[in-house]
Structure 1
Amino acid sequence: MKRAYIKGIDYHVPELFEKNSESDRITRKVGILKRPIANCDEYASDLAIAAAKKMLTKQNIDISTIDMLIYCTQSPDYILPTTACILQDALGLSTRCAAFDINLGCSGYVYGLSVAKAFIESGMANNILFLTSDTYSKYINPKDRSVRVLFGDGASATLVSGKESDRELIGPFVFGTDGTGKDNLIIKSGGLKEPITKQSEIEEEDSFGNIRSNRNLYMNGSEIFNFTLREIPLAVTKLLSISGMKIKDYNRFVFHQANKFMLENLRKILDISEERFSLNLENYGNTVSSSIPISLCKDLENKKASKEDTAMLVGFGVGYSWAACNIIL
Structure 2
Amino acid sequence: MNLTFLNKKITGILTVVPKNEVKFEDEAANYNFPIEKSIRLKKIMGYNKHRIVDEETCVSDLCVYGLEHLIESKLLNKDEIDALILITQTPDYFLPPTSNIIQGRLGLKQDMICMDVNQGCAGFLLGLIQAFMLLEQDSIKKVVLLNADVLSRKTSSKDRNSYPIVGDAASVTVVEKGDNNTPIFGNIKMDGSRGDTLIIPAGGLRMPSTPETSKLEDTGDGNLRSKENLTMDGASVFNFVQTEIPPMVNDLLEFSNVKKEEVDYFMFHQPNKFMLEKLADRMEIPYKKMPNNIVANFGNSSSVSIPTNITFNLGKNMQEESYKLCLAGFGSGLTWSSMLIEVGNLGFCDIIEY
Q: Which residue of 2 aligns with 1:188?
A: 201
1:139-154 alignment, distance < 5 Å: 139-154=154-169
Instruction: Output one character per residue of 1:193-250: Cα deviation in whole Å (capped at 9) or x when no partner.
Output: 1111222123211333211111111111011000111110111011011111111011
Q: Which residue of 2 aligns with 1:232?
A: 245
Q: Per-residue deviation at 1:21?
A: 2.4
Q: Which residue of 1 aligns with 2:189?
A: 176
Q: Which amino acid aligns with 2:20?
A: L
Of 168, 173, 178, the match for 1:158: 173
Q: Which residue of 2 aligns with 1:125?
A: 140
Q: Which residue of 2 aligns with 1:71?
A: 86
Q: Per-residue deviation at 1:124?
A: 4.7
Instruction: Output one character per residue of 1:36-76: Cα deviation in whole Å (capped at 9) or x when no partner.
Output: 01011111211111222334445622211111000000010
Aligned 8 A contact 1:66 1:128 in 2 = yes
Q: Which amino acid aligns with 1:256?
A: H
Mind listing any 5+ residue stretches in structure 1 that lack a counterpart? none
Note closer, same or farther for the CA distance 1:243–1:283 as it changes in structure 2 (3 Å cut): same
Mind listing any 5+ residue stretches in structure 2 that lack a counterpart? 27-35, 344-354
Q: Which amino acid aligns with 1:9?
A: I
Note closer, same or farther for the CA distance 1:305–1:174 as it changes in structure 2 (3 Å cut): farther
Q: Per-residue deviation at 1:166?
A: 2.3
Q: Which residue of 2 aligns with 1:53?
A: 68
Q: Which residue of 2 aligns with 1:16?
A: 20
CA RMSD of aligned residues (A): 1.8
Aligned 8 A contact 2:273 2:293 in 1 = no
Q: Which residue of 1 aligns with 2:116?
A: 101
Q: Which amino acid aligns with 2:340?
A: N
Aligned 8 A contact 1:133 1:155 in 2 = yes
Q: Quick one: distance in 1 between partners of 2:91 and 2:211?
A: 23
Q: Which residue of 1 aligns with 2:265?
A: 252
Q: Which residue of 2 aligns with 1:86?
A: 101
Note closer, same or farther for the CA distance 1:148–1:263 as it changes in structure 2 (3 Å cut): same
TM-score (norm 2): 0.88
Q: Which residue of 1 aligns with 2:254?
A: 241
Q: Which amino acid aligns with 1:162?
A: K
Note closer, same or farther for the CA distance 1:275–1:57 as it changes in structure 2 (3 Å cut): farther
Of 214, 217, 220, the match for 1:204: 217
Q: Secondary structure at the match of 2:133?
A: helix
Of 297, 315, 326, the match for 2:340: 326
Query: Is 1:137 paired with 2:141?
Result: no
Q: Which residue of 2 aligns with 1:222?
A: 235
Q: Secondary structure at the match of 1:175?
A: strand
TM-score (norm 1): 0.95
Q: Per-residue deviation at 1:302?
A: 6.8
Aligned identity (percent) is 34
Instruction: Output one character per residue of 1:152-187: Cα deviation in whole Å (capped at 9) or x when no partner.
Output: 10010000011211212xx21110111122111111
Note closer, same or farther for the CA distance 1:273–1:57 as it changes in structure 2 (3 Å cut): farther
Note closer, same or farther for the CA distance 1:44–1:64 as it changes in structure 2 (3 Å cut): same
